[in-house]
Structure 1
C-alpha cells in the first residue's frame, strides 16, 4: 500500500514535470530549422547549428536521466560535448544519435502532452473537488455547481454523495493510471534515445574501423622504425664487420692454416647474414617505399617486371604504411605470376582511391585459367588482403585474359 502510494506520487510528479517540458520541446524543431536557414546568411548556421544540436542532446539527456531514475535502471553515458573542429562538429551533429534526439522530440511532445494532461487531471482533480464541493452553496441558483457527468449540486446530500464518488473515481484513476503511464513514458523515452540492435552493430563496426585505422598507422610507423633501425644500424654494423674480416683475410698468409679457415668462414657467414637481413627488410617494409613512396615503388616494379607493364596511378593521397606495403607486394606477386605462368605479352597495373578504399587492379593478356588450388601466388595475395579486411576478385577464364582486383581499406 505504502509502496503503491509512493509510486503514484512519483509517477504523477514525473508526468507533471513532463507536461511543461513537452510544451517547451515543441519549439525545438522550429529553432533547429532557423539554425539551418541561417547558413545562407554569412554561413552563420555552420557555426550555430552544431551547438544547437548539442543543446538538444543535453535536453534529451536530462529527460533520459529522469526516465532511468524512475525505472531504476543504469544509464549508459552518451557523448555530450562538442569535438574540436567544425567538420567534426557537423559530423557529430548529423550522426545517428543526433537523429535519434530529433525523433525523440516528436515522441516526447506526443506522449508527454497527453500523459501530462492525464496526470494533471488525476492530481489537480481531487484537490479541486475537495476545495470546491463544500462551496457548492456559493454558486447561483440558475447555474449550480456540477460534478461527475454534469450532475447539479443543490444540497449537501448531493454534494457529499456525488462529490465523494467523484473524488473516489479520480483517486482510483490516479492510483491505477499514474504509475503505469509514467513507466510507459519513461520506457519509450529510454527506447527512443538508445540505439537499436542494428545501430549498435553499425556503431561497433565504425568503432572497430576507426581503431583498425589507428592500429594500421601505428603498425606502419613501427615497421618503418624497425626497417630504419635494421638498415642503418644492424646492417651497417654487419657491413663493417664483413669489411674488417675481409681485410684480415687479405692480411693473412696462405699458410695461416686454421686461423685463415676460421676467418674465411666468419667472413662468408657475415655476408650470408647480410643477404638474409636484406631479404627480411624487403619483406617487412620495402626500402623503396620509404625512398620513393607507393607511386614510385609501383613504377619501379612495373619497369623491371618480366612482362612489359604499363602503370596507371591515380591520386592516392596519404595511405597507412601497412596498406602501402600490402599494395606493393600484391602488385609484385601478380606481375611475377604473369611473367612465370601466363605467357602474357603485356600487363597493366592500375591504382586508384575511392573514398576510404584503395583499388588495385592487375591485368594481363595471358592464357588465363588461374587455379588457386595449385598453390598459385593468388593465395598469398588473398592472405595479404584478408589481413587488412580487404577483398580479392580474380577473373581468369581459360584463354585469358586475367584480371585481379583487390580492394584495401585505407581510411585513416
Structure 2
C-alpha cells in the first residue's frame, strides 16, 4: 500500500502541475510578444525561462525521489547582461529542453493524474457512497458497477465490495507502474543532452583553467623573486669578488690570473643568462609597473612610433599578462626590423571570452612565418593558454596580428 500511496501522491500532484504547466505555455508566449512593448520581454522573458527551469527542476527532484535515484542539479542562474540573458533564453539548449518538457508535462501529467484519481478515488469513493446509499432519491438510486441500482443493504454491501475490490486492484496494479513510468519519462526529458554536458564541461574546464593560471602565475612570480633576490644576487657578489681578486693579483701571476679572468667572465655570462631566463619566465617590469606600465615602456623603446590603447582590462592572471607582454614585445620587434612601418598601434581590450590583443602597423606587409619573423613564437605562447592567433599581412601592407587569450574566470 505504501507503493500505491506514493505513486498516487506523485500522479495526483502531477495532475495539478499538469494544469499549471498548461497555463504556463501561453504566459511564455506573452513574455516573448512583450518584447514589442518597450522591450519589456528582453528583461521579463529570460526570468520567465529561469522560473521554468526552477519548475522543471522541482519535478525532476520529485521524479528522482520516487525512483530513489540521485540526479545532479542543473544551473538555474542568469548570466550578466541583457544580451547574454536573452541569448541563453532563446538559443540555450537547456531552455529548449525545458520548453519541450513543459509541453510533455501538460500532455501527460493531466491524463496520468486522472487515471490515478479514477483508481484510488474510485475505491475510496465507493466505500463512501455505499455507506449512504439510502440518501439517494427513489427515482435515482445509487448505481454500482456502472448500471446496477442499489435498493437495499445487501445489494449495497455486495456490489460495493465488488466495485471497491475492482477499483483497488486497478489502482494497486496500474498506479505504481504508471507513476514510475512517468517519473522515468520526466528524468529522460530533463536529462542533460550531450550539447549541454559539453557546455558544462567547458565551463568547468574554464574555471579550473583560471585557477591553474592563477596558481601558475603566483608560482612564476615566486620563482622570479627567488632568482632575482637570491641566485642573481649571489652571482653578482661572486662576480664582484672575482673582479676585486683580479685587480689585486700581481701582474706576474700568470696561470692564476687567467683562471680568475675566466671565472669572472663566466660569472658575468651566467648573470646575463639568468637575467634572460627571468625576463622570459616572468618579466620583472610586470611586477614593478603592471601590464599597462610595462607595455608603455616597451612601446617607448620600440625604435618605431608606437601607440598603446588599453581598455578596461581588470585583473588578469599572471600567465596571461606575461603572454600579452611577450606578444606585444615580439610584434613590435618584428615591426621595427621587417615592416618598414612609420607607425604601430597596439590595442588591448577584454570581453566575456578573454583578452583581445591587436597590433597593427602601416608597413610593407608580406610577413612570412617560415622566415623566422617571430610569429611562430607568438603562436606557441598563445597555444599554451588555449588562445588563438590570426595574422593578416598582404603584400603592400598593412600587417595586423590579432591574439585572443582566454582568461574568463
CA offset at residue 110 of structure 1?
6.9
1:262 is the counterpart of 2:259:
yes
Say if 2:64 is the partner of 1:68. yes
Superposed displacement of residue 151, structure 1: 4.5
* 1:203 paired to 2:200: yes
SS, match of residue 123 in structure 1: helix
**1:373 to partner: Cα distance:** 3.6
Deviates more, 1:330-339 or 1:193-202: 193-202
Residues 226 and 153 of structure 1: CA distance in aligned 2, closer, same or farther (over 3 Å): same
Equivalent position of 2:126 in the other structure: 129
Q: CA deviation at 1:310?
A: 2.4
Q: Could you tell me which residue of structure 2 aligns to residue 184 of structure 1? A: 181
Runs of 4+ in structure 1 deviating by more than 6 angstroms, as ranges, are 20-29, 59-62, 79-82, 94-110, 155-158
**Residues 369-411 of structure 1: per-residue CA shift (max 9 Å, x gap):** 2233444311111111121122211111122111111111232
In the alignment, what sits opposite 1:41?
Answer: none
What runs of 5+ residues in structure 1 fail to find an aligned partner? Answer: 30-49
Take 1:81 and 1:383, find their aligned partners in 2: how far apart are those partners?
38
Distance in 2, Cα, partners of 1:16 & 1:309: 73
Q: Distance in 2 between matches of 1:328 and 1:262?
A: 40
Decide which moves more: 318-327 or 137-146. 137-146
Equivalence map 1:1-400=2 (5 Å): 8=4, 10-16=6-12, 64-73=60-69, 75-78=70-73, 112=109, 114-130=111-127, 132-133=129-130, 136=133, 139-154=136-151, 166-167=163-164, 169-171=166-168, 173-191=170-188, 194-400=191-397
2:119–2:170 Cα contact (<8 Å) kept: yes
1:38-80: CA deviation from partner (whole Å, max 9, x where unpaired): xxxxxxxxxxxx9xx99x96x977764553343243x034389
Deviations 1:198-255 (A, max 9, x none): 2222122111111111111111111111111111111111101110111111111122
How far apart are the structure 1 equivalents of 2:363 and 2:16?
76
SS in 2 for 1:255: helix
Residues 222 and 174 (structure 1), Cα distance of their counterparts in 2 relative to 1, 3 Å cut: same
CA contact (8 A) 2:57 2:74 kept: no
Inter-partner Cα distance in structure 2 for 1:397 and 1:250: 58
CA, structure 1 residues 144+184, in 2 after alignment: closer, same or farther (shift >3 Å)?
Answer: same
Q: TM-score, normalised by structure 2?
A: 0.76
Describe the superposition over 1:85-132 as per-residue Cα deviations: whole angstroms up to 9, x where unpaired: xx9xxx9xx999997998788876775554334223212312433564
